[in-house]
Amino acid sequence: MTYQFIFNHQDQFPLKRLCRVLSIRRSGYYGWLTSMPGKWSQENAKLLQELQKIHGQNCQIYGSPRITKPGHQRGNSCSRARAARLMSKNNIFSKTKPNFKVTTYSEHDYSISPNLLKQHCKGDAPNKGCLSDITSICTLAG
């Protein structure tokens, strides 16, 4: 993280001063510049590309448990926990649909209150008519 900071700001400040302020040796910074990513980093990068591909092919609804199965079939050995870690670090989440919930039941046999206003909402005087959006209320004590 510190080496990346130096890399991003070396055009604004001298490298010697940045290393001195952050208590880092210049040889360590140059070693970081020339070092290759480790074995696990390279494997994680390949695995992440595969996870993104599988996730995109399945309409972005697969989470880590379901993504690992096609990965195993393609020859990528990856645990569910590793897939979950890589997915969460890279903001790959499954899109879930909300469950459909029925809010109105119109096929009931309860008594319906009569429409006394006949859709004429203008009253002659204040407090002569009240409106509501509730059409039926079940009052059976069960």
The C-alpha R_g of the chain, in whole angstroms, comes to: 32
Residue 141 pLDDT > 60, yes or no?
A: no
Element (H, E) at 103: none
Question: What is the C-alpha separation between 10 and 7, in angstroms, rounded?
Answer: 6
Amino acid making up residue 110: Y
> In the chain, what is the straight-line distance between the N-terminal and C-terminal CA atoms, in Å?
65
pTM of the shown model? 0.47
- Are 48 and 36 spatial neighbours (Cβ–Cβ below 8 Å)? no
Question: What is the C-alpha separation between 24 and 28, in angstroms, rounded?
Answer: 7
pLDDT at 89: 93
State pLDDT tens for residues 63-79. Answer: 888 888 776 667 777 88
State pLDDT tens for residues 9-24. Answer: 989 999 999 999 999 9
Residue with the larger pLDDT of the pair 133 and 34: 34
State pLDDT tens for residues 85-94. Answer: 999 999 998 8
pLDDT at 105: 76
pLDDT at 33: 87
Question: What is the C-alpha separation between 24 and 2, in angstroms, rounded?
Answer: 9
